C-alpha cells in the first residue's frame, strides 16, 4: 500500500525527504499542482487538510470543479505480449478487449 492521506474525498500522496528531513506530498486527482509539507506526521496531516480546504475554496471562487472528471476512457501502456494475451483471452471468452479490461478492473476493485 502506498503512503496516502484522505480527507473529504481527496487523496494526498506522501513522501519523506531525507535530505531536508521533511514530509511532503501533493493532492492527487486534481487539475492543479497542490502540495503540502510538515516536519512531523501531525504537521503533515494538518497541512494536508489545510491544502484541501484552501483548494476547495479557490475552486469555488474560480467556478470550477476541484476533482478531475473521469470521462470513461484512458490509455494504458502495457508490454505487447501482455496486450496479445489479453486480446486472445477476450476473444476466447467472446467479448471485446474493452469489456475484458473493464471486468479485470472491476475484479481488482472488489
Distance (Å, whole) CA 87 – CA 44: 44
Q: Return the SS3 of 13.
A: strand
Provide the CB-side half-sphere exposure for 89 (13 A, CA): 12
Angle at 42 between CA 37 and CA 48, to 5 degrees: 45
Q: Is the pLDDT of residue 1 over 80?
A: no
Q: What is the pLDDT of residues 82-102, one digit of tens each?
A: 999 999 999 999 999 999 999
pLDDT band at 69, cuts 50/70/90? confident
pLDDT attached to residue 4 = 94
User: Of 85, 5, 2, 69, which Cα lies nearest the Cα of 37?
Assistant: 5
Q: What is the pLDDT of residues 41-66, one digit of tens each?
A: 999 999 999 999 999 999 999 999 99
Could you say which DSSP state residue 35 is in? E
Q: pTM of the prediction? A: 0.74
Amino acid at each position: 500500500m502506498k503512503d496516502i492521506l484522505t480527507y473529504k474525498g481527496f487523496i494526498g500522496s506522501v513522501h519523506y525527504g531525507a535530505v531536508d528531513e521533511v514530509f511532503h506530498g501533493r493532492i492527487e486527482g486534481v487539475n492543479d499542482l497542490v502540495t503540502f509539507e510538515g516536519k512531523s506526521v501531525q504537521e503533515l496531516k494538518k497541512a494536508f487538510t489545510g491544502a484541501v480546504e484552501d483548494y476547495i475554496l479557490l475552486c469555488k471562487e474560480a467556478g470550477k470543479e476541484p476533482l478531475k472528471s473521469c470521462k470513461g476512457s484512458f490509455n494504458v501502456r502495457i508490454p505487447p505480449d501482455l496486450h496479445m494475451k489479453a486480446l486472445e483471452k477476450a476473444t476466447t471468452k467472446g467479448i471485446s478487449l474493452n469489456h475484458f479490461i473493464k471486468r479485470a478492473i472491476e475484479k481488482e476493485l472488489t
